[in-house]
Structure 1
Amino acid sequence: MDNIMKDKLIKITKEKFQEGDPAHDISHTLRVLKNAEFIASKENGDLDIIIPSALFHDIICYPKNSEKSKYSSDESANFAENILKTLPDYPKYKISKVHTSITQCSFSKQIVPESLEAKILQDADRLEATGAVSIMRTFASAGLMNSELYNFDDPFCKKRKPDSLRYALDLFYNRLLIVKDFMHTETAKNIAEKRTKILYDFLNALEEELYEI
């Protein structure tokens, strides 16, 4: 993909983006794009598919505690399809591949992506659920959903099942610590492995602070 088309797609994304959840804002989208481009450079992915898929994967994003949340990826895929159809210079035969990549991106749907490009997009998005960025995103979303920071009696889910809609810290056990096990590309696996260590360091530091006095 040439820079003219890429810049045009970024411009459209910024104009159409629905701000609301700081964990799924334009910064998140641009980080996913950066992740996806890097992975694609190592795994030989098609940037004509990967770039619009990354830019539009969260263009429609309902709150995670909303009943409509399950429709976010499908509606984002439809949005991407409609936009790409209006661009004369975008290869029309690749639009359906963008649509599929976006519909298969959702973590909560637990879909195993089919194409290399869909795998790269899913990996790029899931890298946002590892490392320092994922910690910021977790507590930002918790504030939006009015969730508690952690369960006072059992912060680290040692005697109970995680409930990440109620307690922010529980998302570490529901998702963040296990994301590395669901990566598809070797490139993403290596990155996720390093970033997961940051999560354990955070939990160890928090446990020390909560119980040292």
Structure 2
Amino acid sequence: MNRENFELLENFMLECMGDSAHDKDHIYRVLYNALEIADTEQNVDYDVLVSACLLHDIGRKEQFENPALCHAVVGADKAYKFLVEKGFAVEFAEKVKLCILTHRFRQNNTPQSIEAKILFDADKIDTTGTIGIARTLFYKGFVGDPLYSLLPDGHVSDGENDIKPSFFHEYKYKLEKLYTRFYTKKGNEIAKQRQQSAISFYNDMFSEVSSSYDNGLNLLDKVLEQE
């Protein structure tokens, strides 16, 4: 891919990006993760891969405005239309479209090409480790979700069986389970290297807030009994 085409796609991506959890910096991290993975694979079409990485989240705005939409589906169609309009070959645009369409984890829509598998892994890597924690906290704050929920007895829930959204719920529901869902060897290695930092962050936060509530509730009972 020449620099002119890269900047064309990059500028279109910048026009489409919005929220802080899925901003331009997320796109660049995914791209760099993908290039690191691709360096260990064979027969990678770098033009397809770089294009798909740059454009994979351009449907986020539409999904945020209408949660019934899937950003992967919307983004795939937007990317295909943009590439064809800018003179790229239909066959090339179709390959990029399929990569974007399958980058989101769905059992019935899995990536098939090596470029699609690399994009999938590169995107998921950015949800692992401390960067994944930070992005989740950004998003939870943006939509107004709390860090944790309380149990009926007033103690802090670990998020495991929560129904209401929170950071702890998102960790147990999604972040904790990410580390076995990679298609490439390199992607799996990078994710595993980051896993312990995420575990430590969650455990430390849960310990801190739990001890505060556990001790505080007991002390409050003693104070109220003295009245």
Equivalence for 2:148: 150
TM-score normalised by length of structure 2: 0.82
Distance in 2 (CA, whole Å) between partners of 1:13 and 1:64 is 16
Shift in Å, 1:22? 1.0
Taking structure 1 as reference, are residues 130 and 202 closer, same or farther at Cα in structure 2, changes over 3 Å only?
Answer: same
Give the alignment's Cα RMSD to 1 decimal.
2.2
Is the Cα–Cα contact under 8 Å of residues 63 and 70 in structure 2 kept in the other structure?
Answer: no
Is the Cα–Cα contact under 8 Å of residues 16 and 61 in structure 2 kept in the other structure?
Answer: no
* Equivalent residue runs for 1:16-31 within 5 Å: 16-19=15-18, 21-31=19-29
Distance in 1 (CA, whole Å) between partners of 2:179 and 2:16 is 28
* Equivalent residue runs for 1:1-213 within 5 Å: 1-14=1-14, 16-19=15-18, 21-44=19-42, 45-62=44-61, 68-88=67-87, 90-107=88-105, 111-153=109-151, 154-157=156-159, 160-163=160-163, 166-212=165-211
1:24-43 C-alpha deviation (Å, 9 max, x unpaired): 11111111111112211221
Is the Cα–Cα contact under 8 Å of residues 162 and 173 in structure 1 kept in the other structure?
Answer: no
**SS in structure 2 of the partner of residue 152 of structure 1:** coil
TM-score normalised by length of structure 1: 0.87
Shift in Å, 1:70? 3.7
Taking structure 1 as reference, are residues 55 and 162 closer, same or farther at Cα in structure 2, changes over 3 Å only?
Answer: farther
Distance in 1 (CA, whole Å) between partners of 2:120 and 2:51 is 13
**SS in structure 2 of the partner of residue 140 of structure 1:** helix
Is the Cα–Cα contact under 8 Å of residues 62 and 68 in structure 1 kept in the other structure?
Answer: no
Structure 1 residue runs without a partner (length 5+): none
Taking structure 1 as reference, are residues 12 and 92 closer, same or farther at Cα in structure 2, changes over 3 Å only?
Answer: same
Distance in 2 (CA, whole Å) between partners of 1:155 and 1:26 is 34
Q: Which amino acid aligns with 2:173?
A: N
Taking structure 1 as reference, are residues 105 and 12 closer, same or farther at Cα in structure 2, changes over 3 Å only?
Answer: same
Shift in Å, 1:3? 2.8
1:46-73 C-alpha deviation (Å, 9 max, x unpaired): 1111111111111121487775354211
Q: Which amino acid aligns with 1:98?
A: V
Is the Cα–Cα contact under 8 Å of residues 17 and 26 in structure 1 kept in the other structure?
Answer: no
Shift in Å, 1:137? 0.7
Is the Cα–Cα contact under 8 Å of residues 30 and 122 in structure 2 kept in the other structure?
Answer: yes
Is the Cα–Cα contact under 8 Å of residues 33 and 54 in structure 1 kept in the other structure?
Answer: yes
Structure 2 residue runs without a partner (length 5+): 213-227
Shift in Å, 1:128? 1.2
Shift in Å, 1:111? 2.9
